Amino acid sequence: MAELKVLFKDIDVPGIQTLEVYEQHGGYSALRKALGMTRQQVIDEVKASGLRGRGGAGFPAWIKWNGIPKDESQPHYVQCNADEGEPGTFKDRELMLRHPHQLIEGIIIAGYATLSKVGYIYIRGEYTEPARVMRRAIDEAYRAGYLGKNILGSGVDFDLYIHMGAGSYECGEESAMMSSIMGERGQPRLKFPHAPLPTIAGLWNCPTLINNVETLSCVPAIIRNGGAWYASMGTEKSTGTKIFSVSGHVNKPGNYEVEMGTPLMELLELAGGVKGKLKAVIPGGSSVPILPADKCDVNLDYESLQAAGTMLGSGGFMVLNDTVCIVKFMRRTAAFYAHESCGKCTPCREGTRWMVKIFDRILAGGGRMEDIDLLLDICDQIDGRSYCALGDAAAWPIRASIKHFRHEYEYFIKHGHSMVEAQAEHSVGGR
Partner 1 sequence: MAEQELVTIEINGIELQVPKGEMIIESAKRIGVDIPFFCYHPRLGKEQAANCRMCLVEAGTKQPDGSVRMMPKPQTSCTLPASQGLVVFTDTVAIQKARRGILEFLLINHPLDCPICDRGGECPLQNNTLFYGPGVSRFVEEKRHLPKAFPISDYVVLDRERCIHCARCTRFSQEISGDAQLEFLKRGADTMVSTFQNTEFTSRFSGNTIELCPVGALTSRVYRFRARPWDMKSQKSICTRCSNGCNIWLDYRPNRLVRVLGRENEAVNEEWTCDRGKFGHEYISSDRRLLSPLVRRDNRFVTASWVEVYQLIASRIRQAVEERGAGAVGAIGGAHLSNEEAYLLQKLMRVAVGTNNIDHRLERNQVAGGDTLLARLGVPFTQTAIADIEKAKTIFIFGADLVDEQPIVFLRARKAWFRFGAKVIIAHPEPTETELRFDEPLVLRYRAGTETTLINGLSHLILQSGRAVTDGISLEELQASLSEYTPARVAQETGVAEDALREAANLLGEGTVILCAGRVRNHPEYAVLANALVNLTLLTGNGSRGNGGLNILLPEVNSHGAADMGVLPDLLPGYVPVNDREARERIERIWKASLPAEPGLSTQGMLEAAAEGKLQVLYVIGEDIAQKYHDPELAQRALENAGFVIVQDLFLTDTAQYADVVLPAASVAEKEGTFTNTERRVQRFWKAMNPPSPDVKPDLNIFAELAVYLGKPLPVFSAEQVMEEIGQVFPAYAECCYDQMPAEGVRWMPTLTDRGK
**Which residues of this protein are in contact with ligand FMN, per CB under 6 A?**
53-57, 59, 81, 83-86, 169-170, 172-174, 210-212, 215, 388-390, 393
Q: Residue 102 in contact with residue 146, Cβ under 8 Å? A: no
Shortest distance, CB of residue 344 to ligand SF4, whole angstroms? 4
| Residue 358 binds partner 1, judged by CB under 8 A | yes
Shortest distance, CB of residue 215 to partner 1, whole angstroms? 24
The residue (of 93 and 249) whose beta carbon lies closer to ligand FMN is: 93
How many degrees, rounded to 5, is the angle at CA 151 between CA 32 and CA 228?
30
Shortest distance, CB of residue 366 to partner 1, whole angstroms? 9
User: What phi and psi, each to the nearest 5 degrees, are found at residue 6?
Assistant: -110, -60
Shortest distance, CB of residue 223 to partner 1, whole angstroms? 35
Listed ranges 56-64, 127-135, 318-326, 385-393: which one lies at the site for partner 1 (CB under 8 A): 385-393
User: Which listed residue (183, 194, 294, 429) binds partner 1 by CB under 8 A?
Assistant: 194
| Residue 345 binds ligand SF4, judged by CB under 6 A | yes
Shortest distance, CB of residue 395 to ligand SF4, whole angstroms? 10
| Identity at 419, one-letter amino acid code | M
Q: How far apart are CA 374 and CA 377, in angstroms?
A: 5
Which of ligand SF4, ligand FMN, partner 1, none has residue 385 at its interface (CB below 5 to 8 Å by kind)? partner 1
* Residue 402 vs residues 160, 330, 376, 406: alpha-carbon distances, Å: 45, 10, 8, 5
Which of partner 1, ligand SF4, ligand FMN, none has residue 351 at its interface (CB below 5 to 8 Å by kind)? partner 1
User: Which listed residue (172, 227, 391, 397) binds ligand SF4 by CB under 6 A?
Assistant: 391
Strands 291-292 and 254-259: unpaired
**Strand arrangement, sheet containing 278-282:** 254-259, 241-248, 316-321, 278-282, 291-292
Q: How many residues bind ligand SF4 (CB under 6 A)?
A: 14
Give the closest residue to 278 by CA, choosing from 235, 246, 243, 232. Answer: 246
| Residue 381 binds partner 1, judged by CB under 8 A | yes
* Residue 182 vs residues 96, 186, 205, 279: alpha-carbon distances, Å: 23, 9, 10, 44
End-to-end CA distance of the chain: 44
| Residue 342 binds ligand SF4, judged by CB under 6 A | yes
Which of ligand FMN, ligand SF4, partner 1, none has residue 358 at its interface (CB below 5 to 8 Å by kind)? partner 1
Q: How far apart are CA 341 and CA 354, in angstroms?
A: 12
User: What phi and psi, each to the nearest 5 degrees, are found at residue 127?
Assistant: -85, 60
Give the closest residue to 408 by CA, choosing from 280, 250, 246, 273. Answer: 280
Q: How many helices (H) and strands (E) does the chain have?
A: 19, 11
Q: How far apart are CA 248 and CA 323, in angstroms?
A: 11
**Site residues (CB under 8 A) for partner 1, limited to 153-172:** 168, 170
Shortest distance, CB of residue 339 to ligand SF4, whole angstroms? 11
Strands 118-123 and 159-164: parallel
Shortest distance, CB of residue 212 to ligand SF4, whole angstroms? 19
187 to 206: interface string for ligand SF4, x by CB under 6 A:
-x------------------
Shortest distance, CB of residue 359 to partner 1, whole angstroms? 11
Shortest distance, CB of residue 302 to partner 1, whole angstroms? 17
Q: How far apart are CA 322 and CA 237, in angstroms?
A: 34
| Residue 357 binds partner 1, judged by CB under 8 A | yes
Q: How far apart are CA 258 and CA 279, in angstroms?
A: 23
| Residue 276 binds partner 1, judged by CB under 8 A | no
Which of ligand SF4, partner 1, ligand FMN, none has residue 93 at its interface (CB below 5 to 8 Å by kind)? none
The residue (of 296 and 345) whose beta carbon lies closer to partner 1 is: 345
**Site residues (CB under 8 A) for partner 1, limited to 295-354:** 338-347, 349-354
How many degrees, rounded to 5, is the angle at CA 213 between CA 53 and CA 287?
60
User: Which listed residue (349, 395, 397, 402) binds ligand SF4 by CB under 6 A?
Assistant: 349
Return the residue nearest ligand FMN (CB atom): 53
* Residue 385 vs residues 309, 333, 342, 380, 392: alpha-carbon distances, Å: 20, 20, 15, 9, 8
Which of partner 1, ligand FMN, ligand SF4, none has residue 172 at its interface (CB below 5 to 8 Å by kind)? ligand FMN
User: Which listed residue (344, 397, 400, 413) binds ligand SF4 by CB under 6 A?
Assistant: 344
Site residues, ligand SF4 (CB under 6 A): 170, 188, 341-345, 348-349, 386-388, 390-391
